[in-house]
Amino acid sequence: AQSVTQLGSHVSVSEGALVLLRCNYSSSVPPYLFWYVQYPNQGLQLLLKYTTGATLVKGINGFEAEFKKSETSFHLTKPSAHMSDAAEYFCAVSDRGSARQLTFGSGTQLTVLP
């Protein structure tokens, strides 16, 4: 079964600093890859996804992620953090070619310091 590992349950950055949230998956066959963001008392919102094609994926709010097959990784980055980026971020994977569901990581809480 697929598994997703998010390194660091809590990450703190200063406003204006680089944001790097790490995600690794377990499958030997590259799955579909997703990043979701969850603000307090709200549902999850899709930031970006990788299904095929270009390995650098751009999403909303200035975030991007790069699929690296050799490292089985899909890390999320943003060049300059904003206070409004403070939220919980979830990496998720889904097997290709089936109706399989999303498997989520345990999440990373991002704090942005003034």
Backbone φ/ψ region at 97: left (φ over 0), alpha (ψ -120 to 50), beta:
left
Instruction: Tell me how far apart the alpha carbons of residues 66 and 59 are, in angstroms, rounded to a whole number.
Output: 11
Q: Which of 12, 14, 26, 45 touches other proteins (CB under 8 A)?
A: 45
Among 73, 90, 110, 112, contact with other proteins (rule: CB under 8 A)? 90
Minimum CB separation of residue 13 from other proteins in Å reads 21
CA distances from 98 to 10, 32, 43, 90 (A): 33, 11, 25, 22
Write out the two tokens for 111. Answer: 């704090």
* 22 is an interface residue for other proteins by CB under 8 A: no
Residue among 3 and 80 whose Cβ is closer to other proteins: 3
Per CB under 8 A, 44 contacts other proteins: yes
The region of 19-27, 43-51, 63-71, 76-84 touching other proteins under the rule CB under 8 A is 43-51
